[in-house]
Structure 1
């Protein structure tokens, strides 16, 4: 075989290989186009399904487009929100969020955070809403903490009523029945909660020599561990949380409620002040599940019927 013949043969092979490559590429291109068409059909179908939700059109377009409401939440506050034995987010708020999602045609996704950072996360646009057993107060509406303006306030869609309870180690109440009885004692609370505010207020009232010591934690579970270990005389949480801890901790043998529930106030879903359309859509969705009975089913599941409301209101806290 001559060198010329060899070159021609090599060239021919190259042309055949190139043609094959072009054919394969063409087939791949057609396949890719086919996949894109299928994906487009699926996206269109998903969008159509979302649009069938009765209140989808009330959502802001940005939420409609992404199909998700991101929720900032302290997921350590059973039974309102917590991690179950499988590590899934469970509780009153997640179940209510699922019901709201059916009305609005979008998913509600919980993201864990410490309670005292949720409002700042909302301001920073890390979340669309904060839903975390958060009491609706005028201070939070106005962005005030400890009497000082710290930032933009939030709007609340109120959906439940809760008070504040005190609990102690079981059989060791030490005569504690009221907040005044805590003078000279030590209480554990979660940071940035109404319980902490009440404890601070009570500490100022206690006489010299009988000061109330306060130990604050990032979450309520840490406070419960401290009390259970004998590191404090009492704990305080929102009424449904305290009642759940008393019922379930140690099989009901760790804690007991003392005194009466005080400071009853609404829980609210917090929404940025500049997102009025989302607040309005959430209010409409909450009223829809109150009306259709899904709301009552969720509360009954968690034994929380006592805090039920008959109407979702905006900024009803005082």
Structure 2
């Protein structure tokens, strides 16, 4: 879930074709809902028995090793990154990656639902050990800066980057309203999720619109609410991260509700957020991610969800700009 991203140049935007090459028809197929238990982890065994077989268990802080659990703050309404399947289990790209990393570390990753714009607050208050929710790694977040006011609102967080995604626009199928680029949104109504780069981009674009062609922005707590509004005819277009927009296009109404328009923009890394004072946990997460990249489990997860174009070659700490 991108948010508060540093703006890129036109040249950067043009390079997004590589990410945008994921074919919607073949991407994000619902190939099964995964094998996670509620909370995102299929291994029911925790504690010393699991850790004894885990190659990276000794990298974790002792307090987490003792609990056998990493608490994950996540907005679990962002298919296919994380969402509830028909049985109520937490599934998606992030839970599958967390399950694979958990086997390296000998712990379970337990996903706890929260609204996206409160996840870092929950991390700071120790409600969560990490936040993993399609969250864009940005300098503002690293430094605890509010992107709108430019003021420092916290000590910031560290990120372990694990995926790359851009932002897309989508409309009702067969009714693109003449929208091909962000500038075409002037005079239109756009629905977005609150606190995301989609909202930031829309606000930036609204300032550029000519007089008499106002861009109206309606922000919701989650992306599903925005999609519902657009589906009901309450807006002209929606915007969200490319994997999410493409998944909605593929699955909503059996593929008959929405269509993507134009190319995605603002390609940036998703990061797993860790508190600044938890360097040991951060480094353990990085080691686990590098391990599953090397052993092929990472690629298997991305292939399962049809998002291999967003793959990274290695885990990077604080790679966002």
Structure 1: distance between partners of 2:232 and 2:202:
21
Structure 1: distance between partners of 2:72 and 2:151:
26
User: Equivalent residue for 1:135?
Assistant: 136
Q: Is the 8 A contact 2:47 2:106 kept in 1?
A: no
User: Equivalent residue for 1:4?
Assistant: none
User: Equivalent residue for 2:263?
Assistant: 260
- Indicate yes or no: 2:310 matched with 1:307: yes
Structure 1: distance between partners of 2:228 and 2:216:
17
In the TM superposition, residue 46 of structure 1 has moved relative to its aligned partner by 4.5
Q: Is the 8 A contact 1:226 1:232 kept in 2?
A: yes
What is the number of residues matched between the two proteins?
A: 274
User: Equivalent residue for 1:9?
Assistant: none
User: Equivalent residue for 1:117?
Assistant: 118
**Residues 46, 63 of structure 1: CA spacing in aligned structure 2 closer, same or farther, 3 A cutoff?**
closer
Structure 1: distance between partners of 2:151 and 2:172:
36
User: Equivalent residue for 2:68?
Assistant: 67
Structure 2: distance between partners of 1:218 and 1:51:
41
Matches within 5 A, 1:10-89: 46-89=47-90
User: Equivalent residue for 2:184?
Assistant: 181
In the TM superposition, residue 141 of structure 1 has moved relative to its aligned partner by 0.7
Q: Is the 8 A contact 1:51 1:57 kept in 2?
A: no
More helix, by proportion: 1
Output the aligned Cα RMSD: 0.9
**TM-score, structure 1 as length reference:** 0.85
Structure 2: distance between partners of 1:169 and 1:149:
39
In the TM superposition, residue 148 of structure 1 has moved relative to its aligned partner by 1.9
Match of 2:203 among 180, 200, 206: 200
User: Equivalent residue for 2:222?
Assistant: 219
Matches within 5 A, 1:267-306: 267-306=270-309
Match of 2:238 among 235, 238, 244: 235
Structure 1: distance between partners of 2:223 and 2:132:
16
In structure 1, runs of 5+ residues without a counterpart are: 1-44
Structure 1: distance between partners of 2:175 and 2:204:
24
**TM-score, structure 2 as length reference:** 0.84
Q: Is the 8 A contact 2:51 2:107 kept in 1?
A: yes
Q: Is the 8 A contact 1:169 1:227 kept in 2?
A: yes
Q: Is the 8 A contact 1:166 1:237 kept in 2?
A: yes
Structure 2: distance between partners of 1:97 and 1:198:
30
Q: Radius of gyration: which is bigger?
A: 1
In structure 2, runs of 5+ residues without a counterpart are: 1-45
Task: Give every structure 1 segment of 4 or more consecutive aligned residues whose post-TM-superposition deviation is greater than 2 Å.
Answer: none
Structure 2: distance between partners of 1:154 and 1:84:
30
Matches within 5 A, 1:144-159: 144-145=145-146, 146=148, 147-159=150-162
In the TM superposition, residue 49 of structure 1 has moved relative to its aligned partner by 3.4
In the TM superposition, residue 129 of structure 1 has moved relative to its aligned partner by 0.2
In the TM superposition, residue 151 of structure 1 has moved relative to its aligned partner by 1.1
Secondary structure at the aligned position of 1:251 is classed as helix
Q: Is the 8 A contact 2:50 2:107 kept in 1?
A: no
Structure 2: distance between partners of 1:89 and 1:314:
26
Structure 1: distance between partners of 2:145 and 2:47:
42
Structure 2: distance between partners of 1:261 and 1:46:
43
In the TM superposition, residue 249 of structure 1 has moved relative to its aligned partner by 0.5
Secondary structure at the aligned position of 2:111 is classed as strand
User: Equivalent residue for 2:32?
Assistant: none
